[in-house]
Chain A
């Protein structure tokens, strides 16, 4: 049985374990009494907060149960926020506003009030808002980054790259003119990387950079490190915080930006992970992503099942490399899509639970390595061109669902999503949408578990978990994730689901307001401001990369030879990539590595 098969078993066993505990709590009196005691203790310790209207609310809401069996079902089956199996949340407090004034119950049940401005410092959490952006050239994106973070305490940047960069090509490559700086930022060299994050303190604890790129991830990562070293010296490396997506499986399954054959792609990924887990303890070297699977048209269950199974496959691979699970486990993070289908009421909750159980019981992971740390993005595909201002409502609804699932960070799409890289007008509304939900509204800031645990949510949880396990069984039957990928299993499932989705739109099964329902008039083309990269800018980037290559021609040759030798030998390429990133362009590195390991052969 492969690891995935074992994961299925571990979840089934865990569910049995929960039932056993329920039974035991009802039959074994001492056990039952102990549980009840603990439960009452926990409840007593929950601080009470006051809303602006003066309503007292507990900082954590728990089900109103006092029967030991039900308590066992909750404690073991769901867990308190921040406790195994983490159904409710990965951390105890998430987006709660810092406590200004709390009331708490002391042992004998009387209330006491205390102001918290004495002694302990208020530590404000990082804002969960993280907006994905990238446009034109490095300096343009840099400007956008400064615009987006101007009101934020913490600077969490999320970088979108343009097509040529995503495919590991230089801006002067054949046939790519026209695509430079479109849909993301054009990055060819370390010099661009320096410009991209100019003005941000890369080594600061309040800064983190996320880079959404997978095929060329090891090269881009090397360029990021090189840029940081140029600006802050070599010591900065161990302090760098951020994420690089680097998810090869989902590229092959859904996003289509793989540049080397699967096996060497995975090998270079593991090389990078080996390096960062050792040298960069605050870096997340992979973001295991279902977003692109969902956006390519999969069902929510497929999205979660493929993402989790990909995650377990990576865990297996890193473990086989000899990296201890408690070293790489805490450095894994996840990225899911949130759309409007009913599954999204609990999709991430269930995913968090399955991940924790599998990591603990199959991989022997400790607590920190069990956490499914999640970034969510609202669905881009649910946003449509017809009457596009409705997209604001769609995104708002998805935001509520995302935060109901206790996501750790979130991107909200702009309403102009169907047309263009968002312009400032719409991106501002998208950011404000999150602020309104988290800061203005009282839904998420006073109480953890505010919306968890409704009967409907539980029904969705059960149905979704069962369906995910079924998907795991199918993948296991095909010989595991890699074998299934090579057979195009996930791809064909996603494509069929996507086809059905589109058919349902046009046969009316899926109401899309303003498109197939309540459509009043065939509106003229909406007025949206397009963000496009002028030709002159594109040419500037071409000139830059050519100048760089000319300037470094000699050194580049040596670095590339060295890289090829290491790759040929099968050693860890990352140190050689770090050298190469100083003097070579992205395209030069891609080209040279492709000579050694070949090019990716796309799947239909």
Chain B
């Protein structure tokens, strides 16, 4: 079984008409397609950067507020300029894109425009037929990010969609994948790898994006990589939506890759380990890995693995103290964050967790944050803690 098709979708800048694309996203993922959704009001450069980093087969754009001829053409041109014209562009915009417009757009390199009244089935069929076959020869990567993105794709494809067994030996597998493109040798490992985990809805994504903002401010040259995960079942699609909310991470100094778990339990994908190993060797200052929001019975990151520090992000509303007892992660994480500490229960949560950490006697740190708040001092503190850790 081959890997699911990966598609990026977005709505152009100054346009918030997302109803069509939301429906199409849902329809795609029900039909086995992995959709990386960048959200609405997105610029050409954000779209192209995301397309290249995620190394998708195609970019689907839904445009309603006019200027579509220019916008689609600008996306195609920038992809071409970046040597990524094997990433195709298609889209729609109901009745606002006329047949004449569509003809012009096709001439400028857009694969297909779907008019008002096209059935959802037809669009799904199109994607499967047009972008479902394995890619033949890839163009030579023209940039570091593109090369990295291609390698990550190779790793993900080696694991396929149904492969739940851990291939052995793990590194050689990844290496084989890496070498088949005749790529430059890996540089020595340089990055600090930080793992973020915690229950769904605790605010991991927002918090990471806030840390990225601080990093970009603090450091005028450095780069960060993010490996983010969303759940999916074997053979089915997934909605990978973190990019839409991670506004600060849509930046040339951030390399972000979204992965679906493809049936693996524990909040990571079968290919995660190898992808992470690759990123960790790719000269980033930090590599951040974010798990799916999972139960916290087990630690998703291995002890003595690639991850240097682990951060557990908690929601103060975890329930009773009894619930807290079950959270094994509390004993293993290096830093525990109580996010949404503006909620009423946050103080109690802080005290209960603090007691538990004290019992552990492991010098674990506890930080309270309100990630959604601009310039939150808790997030500042977390950033300092992470920067200081060796």
Contacts and interface: CB of A to CB of B under 8 A. Distances in A.
Contact of B96 (A176, A297, A419): A419
B19 A498 contact: yes
B23 A602 contact: no
Given A167-B14, A256-B16, A530 B120 contact: no
A299 B207 CA distance: 34
B115 interface: yes
Interface in A530-544: 530, 532-533
A297 B19 contact: yes
A524 B27 CA distance: 28
Interface in A486-505: 486-487, 495, 498-499, 502-503
B19 A601 contact: no
Contact of A506 (B13, B121, B373): B121
A598 B372 CA distance: 10
Contact of A179 (B65, B95, B99): B65
A521 B289 CA distance: 54
Q: Is the interface of A mostly helix, strand, loop or mixed?
A: loop
B277 to A, nearest CB: 29
B308 interface: no
Given A256-B18, A499-B23, A178 B95 contact: no
Given A179-B65, A503-B120, A604 B245 contact: yes
A164 interface: yes
Given A384-B116, A601-B206, A175 B43 contact: yes
A256 B244 CA distance: 12
A591 B286 CA distance: 29
Given A178-B67, A386-B116, A525-B100, A163 B14 contact: yes
Nearest to A175: B43
B26 interface: yes
A297 B20 CA distance: 9
Nearest to A599: B247
Contacts of A384: 95, 116-117
Contacts of B14: 162-164, 166-167, 169, 176, 179
A104 interface: no
Interface in B222-271: 239, 241, 244-245, 247
Instruction: Pick from A163, A174, A264, A297 the residue with the most CB of B within 10 Å.
Output: A163
Given A167-B14, A179-B14, A385 B94 contact: yes
B375 interface: yes
A133 to B, nearest CB: 15
B131 interface: no
Interface stretch (B33-41, B179-187, B191-199, B331-339): B33-41
Given A179-B67, A183-B66, A602 B41 contact: yes
A167 B22 contact: no
Given A257-B16, A499-B27, A601-B206, A178 B71 contact: yes
Contact of B374 (A506, A524, A530, A597): A597
A419 B95 contact: yes
Nearest to A494: B19
A597 B65 CA distance: 28
Interface string A165-197: 011010000111111001100000000000000
Nearest to A531: B66
Nearest to B12: A179
Interface string B4-38: 00000000111110110011001100000000010
A319 to B, nearest CB: 21
B167 interface: no
B59 interface: no
Contacts of A264: 374
A385 B95 contact: yes
Interface in B114-129: 115-117, 119-121
Contacts of B206: 601
Contacts of A296: 18-19
A261 interface: yes
Given A297-B23, A487-B201, A498-B19, A418 B95 contact: yes
Contacts of A174: 43
Contacts of A263: 373
Interface in A450-494: 486-487
Interface string A284-304: 000000000001110000000
Interface in A586-604: 596-599, 601-604
Contacts of B66: 163, 178-179, 182-183, 532-533
Contacts of B388: none
Given A178-B70, A419-B98, A495-B22, A603 B121 contact: no
Contacts of A562: none
A509 to B, nearest CB: 13
A422 to B, nearest CB: 12
Interface in B48-102: 64-67, 70-71, 94-96, 98-100
Interface string B191-225: 00000000001000010010000000000000000
B39 A261 contact: no
A172 B291 CA distance: 40
A420 interface: yes
Contacts of B372: 261, 486, 601
B44 A175 contact: yes
Contact of A525 (B16, B18, B99, B375): B99
A572 interface: no
Nearest to A181: B66
Contacts of B22: 495, 498-499
Contact of A530 (B41, B98, B117, B239): B98
Contact of B120 (A420, A502, A604): A502
Which 8 pairs across A and B sit closest by C-beta, in order of nearness? A598-B374, A163-B14, A182-B66, A256-B16, A178-B67, A418-B95, A385-B116, A385-B95
Given A419-B96, A525-B99, A604-B244, 9 more contacts: A167-B41, A183-B65, A264-B374, A418-B96, A499-B23, A532-B66, A602-B40, A604-B37, A604-B39
15 contacts: A163-B65, A163-B66, A169-B14, A174-B43, A175-B43, A183-B64, A261-B374, A418-B96, A419-B95, A525-B99, A601-B206, A601-B209, A601-B372, A602-B244, A602-B245
